[in-house]
């Protein structure tokens, strides 16, 4: 699917710093965790934007900011032309209807004391105008059918379902309010391999059926490639590279993206001895005290003096897409 | 062979013909309130020195239980091993006394667990925990043990090991903790190393570092490695041979190149086909339909038959034996020839 539709989500210079405090009574701020630090992108109707990055890079904080579960330190999130970061009360509630989330862990994200019908129907309790009370049961059964579950199981409890089926329940809950945008935070990583493909196919079918836009957060690069139209690579609170999926996977220009791609084990033993492997040294630095200039420079093999002094901006560089490296150079890591 | 020299270790007496470690027709069952769960049903595999065997399977396939049975760390009861042997250098370990077994466990066969944070003790320093191996098994003094701990931390490439030996587990990142686990497991130069999902909890770039480290340690010391995983990518990277497990049985075993090129069991074929590929973008992924079976209520005949696209009538009634395809390959499918040729549909 090409991003044919109009722009429905606009994220501009989004920043979220969590204060670090010391002392119990007199809390003094001694610093900040820069979880998301200046992220900008657009999302179009019916499009999937994949977000990849390692733990601690800020991708889940980004999801929370887009859901307005966290308030940004600065920057804007605009949905259909309306700025969500400034919205309050009833206005915010209305905007939230339009953007829903599917969580990673289907075992902890469903209340074990509620029936499936109550879980999927709960959004209707909050947004009472979507479905009148008498109509809700039928709506929930429709949703169960849409995600491939038996509508007669409406009175069952989550523990009576398998992991893959629970994830379907989570997806049904996300669909209940007919949103235009769904944020999927690692939707298949907790599932068995043979079940992952089933859930991926379901997400793709729903996208086509309801013209949904997805923000697909995951660490499995082959899964992200399969479903995404465009991919954003995050490192330590910033997007370091953003482009169409084939640009990122075949002409990646940022050294971090190249290292990430080369680290992914290829499920084919053919030629494994000759495969190019970029093994990064060390762990990502702490987001409380990121390196000056380019944040990746402490682990980068291309780093020079300029990388410490000047922060590389996310702009069109080698490869013809956005990347944030002074020494960007398009390189096909996977087929090399 | 017939006349072993007197000063060899008793375990090495018959070591010349047998592979390093042989799991032979192992059965493990658990007594639960709901009934008897047969978690492992006649699993057999072998590992030679310097060889990497990958055991591939989903949750509940019995891959970890098999490893725990080898190590002798199953809780019995509720677990029971009604049948089978685990021969290490020719000696059946299941028949050894607890004391004789603890001489092997940790020293000659060691194990790395998935979650390094919960496998390490939070109230002792990492140096203390690594040196414990030397104090307990080698009777070293605290000081010598600590010196050895620093050496090992260097060997698994923890930067500034000398300064960090007195740190606690929570002060390390996930990748570094896994390195400490590896340091503990290789402390006494084991001959077999069992790694149970060693990188599942880690990021990809850190995963690459750890797999790299394991491969290098294996080259240095010629260990036999059993890698338990669900990740087809990791397997393709490091394994020499694979055993695919489903519902407590090995459904296919093969050298790694053969299995990826021409799988001989519908389950392995289904797993390989469901990997997203570049040329398949925008198309529907192949998905194995249905769910893994409930071990309390196993399907009749072949356990995979309710999900199998190639199912025939006798699959429902007859349990397929592990057919031998060649000296190094086997498949537990009645129609493995057709799966291999791709003529079943």
For residue A262, tell me if it sits in a domain.
Answer: yes
Show the 3-state SS of chain B: CCCCCCCCCHHHCCCCCCCCEEEEEEEEEEEECCEEEEEEEEEEEEECCCCEEEEECCCCCCHHHHHHHHHCCCCCCCEEEEEEEEEECCEEHHHCCHHHHHHHECCCEEEECCCHHHHCCCCCCHHHHHHHHHHHHHCCCHHHHHHHHHHHHHHCCCCCHHHHCCCCHHHCCHHHHHHHHHHHHHCCCCCEEEEECCCCCCCHHHHHHHHHHHHHHHHHHCCEEEEEECCHHHHHHHCCEEEEEECCEEEEEEEHHHHHHCCCCHHHHHHHHCCCCHHHCCCCCCCCCCCCCCCCCCCCCCCCHHHCCCCCHHHHHCCCCCEECCCCCEECCCCHHHHHHCCCC
Nearest residue of B to residue A286, measured between CA atoms: B173
For residue range A231-242, list pLDDT tens digits in order. Answer: 999 999 999 999
Higher model confidence: residue A102 or residue A55?
A102
For residue B323, tell me if it sits in a domain.
Answer: yes
Mutation for testing the A interface, residue in B159, B211, B251, B287 having most A CBs under 10 Å: B287
pLDDT for the residue numbered A108: 86
B179 and B292 in one domain? no
pLDDT for the residue numbered B17: 63
What is the arithmetic mean of pLDDT over A296-311?
90
pLDDT for the residue numbered B13: 45
What is the arithmetic mean of pLDDT over A96-103?
90
Mutation for testing the A interface, residue in B208, B227, B254 having most A CBs under 10 Å: B208
CATH number at residue B26: 3.40.50.300
Other CB atoms within 10 Å distance of the CB of residue A42 = 15
B109 and B162 in one domain? yes
- Which of B89, B113, B114 is CA-nearest to residue B100? B89
pLDDT above 70 for A142: yes
* Chain B nearest CA to A83, separation (Å): 33
Q: Which residues does chain B have with pLDDT short of 50?
A: 1-15
- State the pLDDT confidence band at A213, using cuts at 50, 70 and 90: very high
B233 and B294 in one domain? no
Nearest residue of A to residue B158, measured between CA atoms: A282
Strand bridging mode A322-323 / A315-316: antiparallel
Name every chain A residue with its beta carbon within 8 A of the beta carbon of B277: 222
B162 and B39 in one domain? yes
pLDDT for the residue numbered B102: 85
3 state SS of A10: strand
Q: Do B236 and A267 touch (CB under 8 A)?
A: yes
- Which of B75, B4, B88, B25 is CA-nearest to residue B250? B25
For residue B245, tell me if it sits in a domain.
Answer: no
Nearest residue of A to residue B205, measured between CA atoms: A263
* Chain B nearest CA to A99, separation (Å): 24
For residue B250, tell me if it sits in a domain.
Answer: no
B176 and B224 in one domain? yes
For residue A300, tell me if it sits in a domain.
Answer: yes
For residue A197, tell me if it sits in a domain.
Answer: yes
Question: Distances from the Cα of B16 to the Cαs of A317, B3, B13, B35, B223, in angstroms?
Answer: 62, 12, 8, 43, 17
* Chain B nearest CA to A52, separation (Å): 11
- Which of B36, B105, B100, B95 is CA-nearest to residue B67? B105
Omega before residue B77 within 30° of 0, cis: yes
pLDDT > 70: what percent of chain A? 98
pLDDT for the residue numbered B6: 42
pLDDT for the residue numbered B345: 57
pLDDT for the residue numbered B137: 86
For residue B252, tell me if it sits in a domain.
Answer: no
Q: Do A194 and B233 touch (CB under 8 A)?
A: no
For residue B249, tell me if it sits in a domain.
Answer: no
Q: Do A245 and B281 touch (CB under 8 A)?
A: yes
Name every chain A residue with its beta carbon within 8 A of the beta carbon of B58: 192-194
Q: Which residues pair with A11 in a beta bridge?
A: A41, A77
B221 and B267 in one domain? no
B92 and B147 in one domain? yes
Hey, what are B339's tokens?
């799966």
Count the domains in chain B: 2
Compute, in degrees rounded to 10, the torsion defined by CA atoms B110, B111, B116, B117. Answer: -80
B140 and B54 in one domain? yes
Last residue of one domain, picked from the residues B179, B206, B239: B239
Q: Do A272 and B272 touch (CB under 8 A)?
A: no
Residue A305 belongs to domain spanning: 7-22+30-98+179-266+274-323
This prediction's pTM: 0.82
Average pLDDT value over all residues in chain A: 87
For residue A122, tell me if it sits in a domain.
Answer: no
Residue B282 belongs to domain spanning: 263-341
B311 and B185 in one domain? no
For residue B322, tell me if it sits in a domain.
Answer: yes
Q: Do B276 and A226 touch (CB under 8 A)?
A: yes
Collect all residues from A whose CB is shorter than 8 A from any CB in B.
1, 54-55, 162, 164, 192-198, 200-201, 204, 219, 221-223, 225-226, 245, 249, 259-260, 262-270, 272, 277, 279-280, 282-283
* Chain A nearest CA to B148, separation (Å): 23
B212 and B82 in one domain? yes
Last residue of one domain, picked from the residues B239, B274, B308: B239
pLDDT above 50 for A141: yes
For residue B159, tell me if it sits in a domain.
Answer: yes
CATH number at residue A300: 3.40.50.300
- State the pLDDT confidence band at A143, using cuts at 50, 70 and 90: very high
Q: Do A269 and B236 touch (CB under 8 A)?
A: yes
pLDDT above 90 for A9: yes
For residue A78, tell me if it sits in a domain.
Answer: yes
Please calculate the CA angle B278-A245-A251 and round it to the nearest 5 degrees.
90
Option in B59, B209, B237 nearest A265 (CB): B237
Count the domains in chain A: 1
* Chain A nearest CA to B299, separation (Å): 17
**What phi and psi values does residue A34 have, to the nearest 5 degrees?**
-90, 80
Q: Which residues pair with B242 in a beta bridge?
A: B54, B254
For residue B276, tell me if it sits in a domain.
Answer: yes
Instruction: Say how many CB pairs under 8 Å bridge A and B.
Output: 115
Q: Are A83 and A77 in contact (CB under 8 A)?
A: yes
B332 and B221 in one domain? no
Q: Are B241 and B328 in contact (CB under 8 A)?
A: yes
């Amino acid at each position: 699917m090409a991003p044919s539709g109009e722009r429905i989500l606009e994220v501009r210079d989004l920043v979220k710093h969590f204060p670090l405090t010391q002392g119990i009574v007199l809390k003094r701020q001694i610093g900040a965790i820069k979880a998301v630090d200046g992220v900008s992108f657009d999302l179009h109707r019916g499009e999937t934007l994949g977000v990849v990055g390692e733990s601690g890079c800020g991708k889940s904080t980004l999801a929370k900011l887009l859901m307005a579960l966290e308030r940004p330190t600065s920057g804007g999130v605009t949905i259909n032309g309306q700025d969500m970061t400034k919205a309050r009360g009833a206005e915010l509630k209305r905007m939230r209807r339009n953007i829903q989330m599917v969580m990673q862990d289907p075992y902890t994200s469903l209340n074990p004391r509620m029936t499936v019908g109550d879980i999927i129907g709960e959004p209707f309790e909050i947004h009472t105008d979507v479905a009148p009370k008498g109509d809700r049961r039928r709506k929930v059964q429709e949703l169960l059918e849409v995600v491939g579950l038996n509508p007669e199981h409406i009175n069952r409890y989550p523990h009576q379902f398998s992991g893959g089926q629970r994830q379907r329940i989570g997806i049904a809950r996300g669909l209940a309010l007919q949103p235009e945008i769904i944020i999927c935070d690692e939707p298949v990583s907790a599932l068995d391999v043979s079940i992952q493909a089933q859930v991926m196919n379901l997400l793709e079918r729903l996208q086509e059926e309801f013209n949904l836009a997805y923000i697909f957060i995951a660490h499995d690069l082959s899964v992200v490639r399969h479903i995404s139209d465009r991919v954003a690579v995050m490192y330590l609170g910033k997007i370091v590279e953003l482009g169409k999926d084939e640009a990122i996977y075949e002409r990646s220009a940022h050294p971090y993206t190249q290292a990430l791609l080369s680290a992914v084990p290829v499920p084919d033993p053919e030629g494994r001895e000759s495969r190019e492997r970029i093994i990064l040294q060390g762990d990502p630095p702490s987001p409380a005290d990121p390196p000056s200039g380019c944040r990746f420079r402490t682990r980068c093999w291309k780093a020079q003096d300029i990388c410490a002094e000047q922060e590389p901006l996310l702009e069109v560089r080698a490869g013809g897409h956005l990347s944030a490296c002074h020494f960007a150079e398009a390189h096909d890591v996977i087929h090399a | 062979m017939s006349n072993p020299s007197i000063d060899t270790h008793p375990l090495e007496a018959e070591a010349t013909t047998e592979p390093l470690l042989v799991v032979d027709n192992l059965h493990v069952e658990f007594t639960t309130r709901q009934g008897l769960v047969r978690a492992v049903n006649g699993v057999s595999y072998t590992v030679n020195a310097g060889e990497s065997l990958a055991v591939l399977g989903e949750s509940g396939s019995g891959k970890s239980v098999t490893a725990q049975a080898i190590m002798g760390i199953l809780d019995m009861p509720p677990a029971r091993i009604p049948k089978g042997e685990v021969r290490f250098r020719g000696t059946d370990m299941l028949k050894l006394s607890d004391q004789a077994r603890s001489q092997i466990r940790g020293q000659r066969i060691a194990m790395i667990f998935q979650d390094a944070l919960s496998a390490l003790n939070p109230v002792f320093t990492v140096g203390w925990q690594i040196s414990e191996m030397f104090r307990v098994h080698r009777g070293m003094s605290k000081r010598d043990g600590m010196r050895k701990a620093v050496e090992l931390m260097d060997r698994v490439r923890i930067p500034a090991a000398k300064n960090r030996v007195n740190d606690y587990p929570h002060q390390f990142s996930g990748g570094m903790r896994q390195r400490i686990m590896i340091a503990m497991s290789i402390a006494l130069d084991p001959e077999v190393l069992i790694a149970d999902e060693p990188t599942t909890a880690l990021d990809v770039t850190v995963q690459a570092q750890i797999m790299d480290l394991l491969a290098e340690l294996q080259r240095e010391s010629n260990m036999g490695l059993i890698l338990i995983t669900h990740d087809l990518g990791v397997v393709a990277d490091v394994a020499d041979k694979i055993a695919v497990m489903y519902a407590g049985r090995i459904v296919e075993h093969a050298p790694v190149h053969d299995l990826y090129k021409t799988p001989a069991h519908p389950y392995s074929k289904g797993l390989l086909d469901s990997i997203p590929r570049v040329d398949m973008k925008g198309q529907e992924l192949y998905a194995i339909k249905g769910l893994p079976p409930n071990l309390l209520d196993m399907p009749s005949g072949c356990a995979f038959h309710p999900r199998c696209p190639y199912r025939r009538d006798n699959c429902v009634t007859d349990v397929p034996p592990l057919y031998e395809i060649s000296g190094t390959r086997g498949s537990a499918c009645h129609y493995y020839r057709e799966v291999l040729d791709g003529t079943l549909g």
